[in-house]
Structures are given as structure tokens and as C-alpha cells.
Structure 1
Amino acid sequence: MTATADLVARARSGDEEAFRALTEPHRRELQVHCYRMLGSVQDAEDTLQDTLLAAWQGLGGYEGRASVRTWLYRIATNRCLNARRSASRRAAKEWNVPGVEPPEPTRLGEVVWLEPCPEAVVEGALATPLGPEARYEQSESVSLAFVTALQVLPPRQTAVLILRDVLGFHAAEVAEMMDATVASVTSALKRARSGLERRRPELPEGQAPPAPGSPAEDELVSRFVTAYEAADVDAVVEMLTDDVFMSMPPMPLEYEGRDVVARFCRGILGTHRRFDLVPTRANGQPAFGAYLHTPSGIRHGTGLIVITLAGDRISAVSRFESSVLPWFGLPRSLPDR
């Protein structure tokens, strides 16, 4: 009997430690799979727990024809599909920054339920080897732009694209997971690729982001922090690409283009509001807890800012609510200095 078969047999007899040994190696990648499918860290965690419960209860039906990993992905994918069909997504919120009137948005975004994913979760998943069919770099496959684009695809197309092009499963494996034919999987993948390409921002040649943790990235991050904390709007704007994109889920306001983003930044930073930025990472990208100075000296957390780099510029800025700060090990407030 193989080690896996022994663990399965013990788990079937009620051995919870054996079940954890079977599933724990795949936990992080399953969590990120659910996050890609759902766009929400909270929904992904709930669906992961639902997946593990279903696996525990369904061990009697596991026949060993596929690996435990593939079997778990089948359960997780179908739980995510159910969640996408039945979910009451997080509602959009109105602008809530006192004393600041935002400019007219370029448009209103659809994916107001999007949440940033902590680096600890991302790193655990990206260490997993991909299958031979994978088409995307692992860092791109967790970026905010990629996850956002996935949310507006039909659910089954999203699942097929993730399983085939992100994780690299063969078409026959995906068909088995989704109780479908290879032909229907191939057709769904073609439509998903077309839909994704229409929604993903194009990256001009030579505009690849610097490697995470590289001197080039560190220099850009340092410049951004210095300019933002000094409320030097001109310096912040100078770092932006011409087609920079700004979003702020769960508020639907979206801005595209340097001029309108500059007006937004002047509204935030040009009203004697001062912030401290505490660096972290989200979705494989530089991120910052933003803390507003107050007359009492205590700096209150107002949100999480995530920036997308393109060459030596910033091509996107995403701002999330302060409720996400604890996910990144950041406090709700900082004491007086």
C-alpha cells in the first residue's frame, strides 16, 4: 500500500490527522484557486472550508483514479461555481471621504467585491509546480488586473481558463473535473481566452514590471512613498503612465488617464491631509497601509493602496477599505510618534 493510500484508508476510518496530512499540502493553492474564481478573500476562505468539509465527508467516493490534488480541485471548482451562481455579491458603497469631492469618474466599475490577497497566501500557492498546459506567469495570474478580468467572464469559462491556462491541467482532466466533454472544455477555453484578452490591459513593449524585491522595484516604491507622504502631488503624478488606471472597491468609481487621476490625487493630498505609508505586498504587488495624521497624533488607518508597476512608472493604483489591514498584519491605527 502506498503512503497516500494508507492516509486515505486512515482518514476514511475517522483519523483527522491523516486527513490533514492528505489535504494540508494543497491548502494554500486551493485557497488561491478559490480567490481567482471569486475575487474575494473572505469568500475564498469560506469556499475552501466548504471544500475541505465536502472532501472529508466524501472520502468514501474517492476511487484513486486521479491524484488527491486533482480530486480536491474538482471539489473546489464546483463549490466555486455554486458560489458564483448563488452569491449575493458585496454591494457598492458611496464615496465616504469627508471634505473631499471626487472628480467625475471615467466609468463605474462592475467588480466592487474585489479584495486584495495577502502575500503570505500568494507565496504558498506560487511555490506549487504548474502543469504542462500553463500559459501564464504565476505572478501575473494573481495580479489584481488578472483577477478582476476573471470576474466578468461567465463562471464555467472562468473555471476552465484557470484550470487549463493558469494551473496547466490537461483538457481531459478538466472535463473530468467539470463533468463535461473535452470538446465543450475546448470551446469554453477559446471563448474565455477571447473574453479575457478584451479586458486585460495591454502592456507596451519594454514596460514589464521590475522583479519583486529588485533594486529597481525598491527605488520606485521609495520614490512613491516619499512623494505621497510629503503630499507632493506633482511628484506622484510624474510617476504615473499616461493611461494610468485607478479603482477603489467597494466604491465603483474608476478613473483612467493621468489628467483625471491627477485631479483625484490633488483632492486627496491637496487639502492638508497627510499620510504615512506602511509597506506590505498584495497579489504579488507593492502595497501600503495608509494612515491619516490626526490632531491627536494618532494615525488612523484609512485603507490599503496597491500599485501596479510598468517599467519605471505606475500603471494602476487600487485603494481598498481599512477593514483589510489586519489581513496583512497591519494595525487599524498607529500611535503618536
Structure 2
Amino acid sequence: MGADAVLEELGVSGLGEVEEPAFSGLAERHRRELHVHCYRMLGSFEDAEDTVQETFLRAWRRRETFEGRSTFRAWLYRIATNACLDLLAKRRPEPATGGEVPWLQPYPDRLLDELPAAGADEPEAAALARETIELAYLVAVQHLAPRPRAALILRDVLDWPARDVAEFLGDSVNSVNSALQRARAGMREHLPAERQDWTGGEDDAGTRELVRRFTDASAATDVSRLATMLRDDVRCSMPPTPGLRIGRDAVVNDWVEDGFEGMTGLRGVPAFVNRQPAVAFYQWREREGAYLPLTIDVLRVTGGAITEITIFHGDRFPRLGLPERLPADGTE
């Protein structure tokens, strides 16, 4: 919404005249997309929530600085990006290393569904929105330094003109383009080589069948059967616990050493996280007389094989909209 339209809707000549409830209502329209933007920048669902709140607070306090040279939405994005950069400078001055992101948290599809949908004539925009919220992208972008990360997301995800990105970052267009080249090279280094061939999603029958077999084999703690579904170069991580496992043998050996084969009473519930198939596992607890959250396994599937498993702890279930317990019969 352009500046004139914003002011006309509110019936004022400047945002300095706006009452707080009206301003909040206007800003709230952009909450979900700002939250996703901050999530891409930070990799943490909870940090993104805090940063959006900080964004709205800063926007309210600085409402008189909205001069109408950009849209209200772009103005909020600038404030949100600065809030992310400030948080990164304070909490995580160094980017991730070694292919691991200990602070990585999942994003539920049910909330991503609140984003404005791309039009039927915008398949590339829909694909971009999906690809840049998948966990592999989040992990790769967290390996970039904060300012190049911001430039990459503003330019390649939000499609801001290079001139606007340069103005926002206080740099020249040439410097921004040079930083973008380095950032894109860094992304290629950390993204899977076959990314353009990824499959998955609820409309993919082959993926659904693979996820079903993965669920059944996991509930039976059948490591040998699970091994047949993994690609040779599969990657497995469990943030925030350190320890990235790469390769089928390393992943399987880790499961065996952790005593996975001796576990009992598991049930799996299908889910979708970060636009990827996932399985929420519950374990029977006799004392509570119910199945309680254990882990959620988020899968990346390529060519009919599992190429990545990212495991999150059961404390993520409420955020993901998953049941906090299942009764004895296993119904939700």
C-alpha cells in the first residue's frame, strides 16, 4: 500500500497524527510476512517473534519518519531488517559454521499458509517462496555474515532493486552487487547440489509413500529397514544438539549407538514443516497413560530417497500446532 493510500485510509496527513490502535491495525496486516522475513534472517522462530514485536515498537516510536518515499510495507521491512541486524550483532556476531545451525527452529506450514499466495501466473514466485523457507536454505543462509545475508534476502527473495538495497545498507550499488556475488557463491557452497531436482510435498504420491514407510519403520525401530530409504550421502542433525552426521553408515551407526533399536511404544503422526514432509513421533508413557511428544523428523526427499533428516525435540510441538498428547488408542 502506497504512502498516499495509507494516509488516506487513516484520514490523516501524516503518521504522526495516527492513534496507536489504528497504527497497530495497519501494521498487523504485515505481521506474518515480516515474521517469515525475520525467520529467514535469524533461523529461529522465537527470535523472529521477538524481532517482529521490536519492529512494531520501533515503527510506532518512529512513525513521524515515514516520509512516503516508499510503501508502508517496505518501510516496515527496513525496520525489521535493521532489528534483525541489531539482534545478530548482539547475540550471534559470527555466522554458523560446519553445516550446522544450533539455533535452527522449524516453521509450521499452517502459519506459512497465512502468507499471500502467488497468483496462478506466477509459478516462479511460488517456487521461490517454497525453496527459501526450506530448512536447507535456512541452514545455508545462516552461514553468511549478517549484512551480506540481508542483501541476499532483500535482493533475491524480496526482489528489491539493487539501488534500494544499496541505499538501505548505506553502500554503493557496485559494492552491493559484489557482496551479492560472494553471498550467492556461499549459498552454492552450502546448498545441496541437486536442489533443482528436489521432490516432496503432499501432492507427491511417491514422497507420501516413502514417508509412510519411514514412519512405520521408525515406530518399529527397524534400523535395517530405515537404512534402505537413505541415500548414501544423507545428512542428519538434531539442533540444538551438536553433531552433524553425513553418510548412511554414519547416520545408522549413530542410531545404533544411541540405543534407538531398544526403544518401544512409538507412534508417528504425519506433518508438514517448512514446506517439507515431516513425522511427529510420540512415545507411550505408562504413568501418564498417553503418548507424549518425543521428536519431529523433518525430511528432505530427492529421487525417491531420504537425503536429509532434521530432528527437533518434542518441546516444538505446541508451536507447530501438534497435539501435546495422544490417548492410548493413538487417535489425535
**TM-score bracket for the superposition, by shorter chain length:** 0.7 to 0.9
Q: Which residue of 2 aligns with 1:160?
A: 151
CA contact (8 A) 2:151 2:180 kept: yes
Give the Å deviation of 1:118.
Answer: 1.3
Q: Which moved more, 1:303-312 or 1:15-24?
A: 15-24
What whole-Å deviation, never above 9, does each CA across 1:278-330 have from its counterpart, x for those lacking one? 22211111122211123444222122211111121111001112211101122
CA contact (8 A) 1:228 1:236 kept: yes
Distance 1:152 1:326, change over 3 A: same
Q: Which moved more, 1:20-29 or 1:66-75?
A: 20-29
Which letter does structure 1 place at the counterpart of 2:159? G
Corresponding position: 1:192 with 2:183: yes
Q: Which residue of 2 aligns with 1:241?
A: 231
Alignment of 1:1-337 (within 5 A): 2-7=4-9, 10=12, 12-87=16-91, 110-125=100-115, 127=117, 137-203=128-194, 207-266=197-256, 267-296=258-287, 297-337=289-329
| Structure 1 portions without partners, runs of 5+ | 90-106
Give the Å deviation of 1:109.
Answer: 5.7
Which letter does structure 2 place at the counterpart of 1:78? N
CA contact (8 A) 1:38 1:80 kept: yes
Q: Which moved more, 1:70-79 or 1:256-265?
A: 256-265
Aligned counterparts of 1:213 and 1:72: Cα–Cα separation in 2:
35
Which letter does structure 1 place at the counterpart of 2:230? L
Asked which structure has the greater RCO (Cα within 8 Å, sep 6+), the reply is: 1
What whole-Å deviation, never above 9, does each CA across 1:224-254 have from its counterpart, x for those lacking one? 1122112222221111111000000010111
Give the Å deviation of 1:335.
Answer: 2.7
CA contact (8 A) 2:200 2:300 kept: no
> 2:105 aligns to what SS in structure 1?
coil
Q: Which residue of 2 aligns with 1:104?
A: none
TM-score (normalizing by structure 2): 0.87
Work out the percentage of aligned pairs sharing the same amino acid: 40
Aligned counterparts of 1:311 and 1:25: Cα–Cα separation in 2:
39
What CA RMSD, in Å, does the superposition of the two structures yield over aligned residues?
2.7
Aligned counterparts of 1:4 and 1:15: Cα–Cα separation in 2:
14
CA contact (8 A) 2:4 2:68 kept: no
Aligned counterparts of 1:201 and 1:335: Cα–Cα separation in 2:
39
> Aligned pair count?
318
Aligned counterparts of 1:142 and 1:78: Cα–Cα separation in 2:
20
Q: Which residue of 2 aligns with 1:102?
A: none
What whole-Å deviation, never above 9, does each CA across 1:20-66 have from its counterpart, x for those lacking one? 44323322111011001101000000001101111112111101111
Aligned counterparts of 1:307 and 1:244: Cα–Cα separation in 2:
10
What whole-Å deviation, never above 9, does each CA across 1:77-133 have from its counterpart, x for those lacking one? 1110111110169xxxxxxxxxxxxxxxxx97642111111112323336267x9x9
| Structure 2 portions without partners, runs of 5+ | none
CA contact (8 A) 2:219 2:268 kept: yes
Aligned counterparts of 1:309 and 1:252: Cα–Cα separation in 2:
23
CA contact (8 A) 2:117 2:126 kept: no
What whole-Å deviation, never above 9, does each CA across 1:163-198 have from its counterpart, x for those lacking one? 111111110121222232212211211111111111
CA contact (8 A) 1:8 1:59 kept: no
What whole-Å deviation, never above 9, does each CA across 1:184-233 have from its counterpart, x for those lacking one? 2112111111111111121178x421344332332222121122112222
CA contact (8 A) 2:102 2:239 kept: yes
Aligned counterparts of 1:62 and 1:8: Cα–Cα separation in 2:
14
CA contact (8 A) 2:201 2:275 kept: no
Which letter does structure 2 place at the counterpart of 1:300? L
